[in-house]
Amino acid sequence: MEHSRELTQAGWKRIANLVDLRRQSMTELSNRIWELAETKFEEFESAKLLMDKLQQEGFVVERGIGGLPTAFMASYGTGRPVVAILGEYDALDGLSQKAGIAFQEAILERGSGHGCGHHLLGTGSLAAVLALKTFMEETGLSGTIRYYGCPAEEGGSGKTFMVRERAFDGVDAALTWHPGYSNAVVSQTSSANFQIRYRFHGQSSHAAASPHTGRSALDAVELMNVGANYLREHVPPEVNFHYAVTDTGGFSPNVVQSTAEVMYLIRASEVRQVEDIYARINDIAKGAALMTGTEPQIHFEKACSNLIPNVTLEQVMYQCFDALGVPEFTEEEQSYASSIVSTLQQEQAAAEFCLPETLDPYEPVTGRMLGSTDVADVSWIIPTAQLETVCYAANTPFHSWQMVAQGQSTASHKGMLHAAKVMAATAAELLAHPDIIEEAKRELQNRGGMEGYVCPIPAHIQPPVKDPGRA
């Protein structure tokens, strides 16, 4: 049910103007983070750029929160409510790509790249809190705003570790966004997941002279994968899992490989389902080890929960989004997007508009996205809402070279700054009307969150963080 309060559209427009005043500096910052393309738990320079900017702007910055050297929290204001805006800045391995072209060409072979737009995500969230701070100073709006720098969303579940270590204590509501190819308030749950490394230890030997004395760890990996693939027929339809062989044990076929490793990512609607499949895949790994005379080593790396949408916050966010409109694009921007679309598979390329200029109708709790996000764990303990803006050509696959190529486009910057406007306006409404937050908290409790949350990462599992001295 929508709130019947009078919406402060004049204030939202002022916030939008404050974001626009920082267009150049925010564009330059997002481009620099795109260039750095630092991967999970190694985002030292990217995090420093954001922290330094926040400190210069009068925020109190706490570095290395949650036991993660590249995580941080910056705050401004006093008292309640406390509204957090979440930022990310990690890139992906193997997606190095030159910007502004419509063909695949790496900057650095096997290098990293921003194939999920987190350079935009982190900077857009930064633009939101900076504009909101100025608006609070101008209007006397009270409360506290926080920017959370969240590392390792890609394959590291940084926020889940942060939640486990209580880095979000004291926050009343959280907002975030993600770059995409639609304008929408996202009201979906997500897939819970576990990520596990299976390492097998065998015995090396000469593959021709004495193969009988060897015990092949690579054989164990291959047999495990065969067994897991047979398992697919016997799991619920909402379950899926993927694997990557991360260590074949060497490059010589004349040596029986004494070590080999495979990484699995298991997904399902809820954590309890993932736990069930995890146990079955563990048994498959143990069976492969028995068949090959090797020893299995099972290393649980990370996990995240399924997301809990919050309709109360989403309605406010949608009202702000509707009032502020959507990004508009030039013929040149549409033309570049069209050239990107022409590189996609036929079923992906079938889009009416390359850069849509419409706001999708708001539909509460529309289902489950197949992917996963560590925002989910925040959503279990804090009412959370998120939006998407058009930053990329329609149907651009996430985690693709096409997405990296568009990461410095003027269209991507427009989407980034528009997301900042909507988040800042939404946060202003929540600061001005704490009763909305109280309603959102009641909704979260009714959906099983807060006291019902159990962190899916066991207490003894530590993130693979790098040397803090590099920060």
Pick the CATH number of 9-189+306-470 from 3.30.930.10, 2.40.50.140, 3.40.630.10, 1.20.1250.20: 3.40.630.10
What one-character DSSP code corresponds to residue 360? Answer: P
Give 203-235 pLDDT, tens digit per residue.
999 999 999 999 999 999 999 999 999 999 999
Collapsed DSSP state (helix, strand, coil) of residue 173: strand
Pairing assessment for the beta strands 184-186 and 295-304 based on DSSP bridges:
unpaired
Residues 6+ apart with CB under 8 A from 226: none
Across 387-405, b (16+ Cβ under 10 Å) vs e yields bbbbbbbbbbebebbbbbb
Residue ranges per structural domain of the chain: 9-189+306-470, 192-303
Per-residue pLDDT of the chain (471 residues; tens, 9 = 90+): 344 444 578 899 999 999 999 999 999 999 999 999 999 999 999 999 999 999 999 999 999 999 999 999 999 999 999 999 999 999 999 999 999 999 999 999 999 999 999 999 999 999 999 999 999 999 999 999 999 999 999 999 999 999 999 999 999 999 999 999 999 999 999 999 999 999 999 999 999 999 999 999 999 999 999 999 999 999 999 999 999 999 999 999 999 999 999 999 999 999 999 999 999 999 999 999 999 999 999 999 999 999 999 999 999 999 999 999 999 999 999 999 999 999 997 655 556 679 999 999 999 988 888 889 999 999 999 999 999 999 999 999 999 999 999 999 999 999 999 999 999 999 999 999 999 999 999 999 999 999 989 999 999 999 998 765 544
Collapsed DSSP state (helix, strand, coil) of residue 168: coil
Contact 81, 382 (CB under 8 A): no
Burial of 20 (0-12, 13-18, 19+ CB in 10 A): middle
Residue 107: enclosing H or E segment and its boundaries? none
Rounded CA separation 260/248 (Å): 5
CA atoms within 13 A on the CB side of 39: 12
Query: Is 192-303 in the same CATH topology as 9-189+306-470?
Result: no
The topology under which CATH files domain 192-303 is Alpha-Beta Plaits (3.30.70)
**Dihedral (Cα; 408, 410, 412, 418), 10-degree rounding:** 140
Give 269-320 pLDDT, tens digit per residue.
999 999 999 999 999 999 999 999 999 999 999 999 999 999 999 999 999 9
Task: Report the sign of the C-alpha dihedral through residues 422, 428, 430, 432, in that order.
Answer: negative
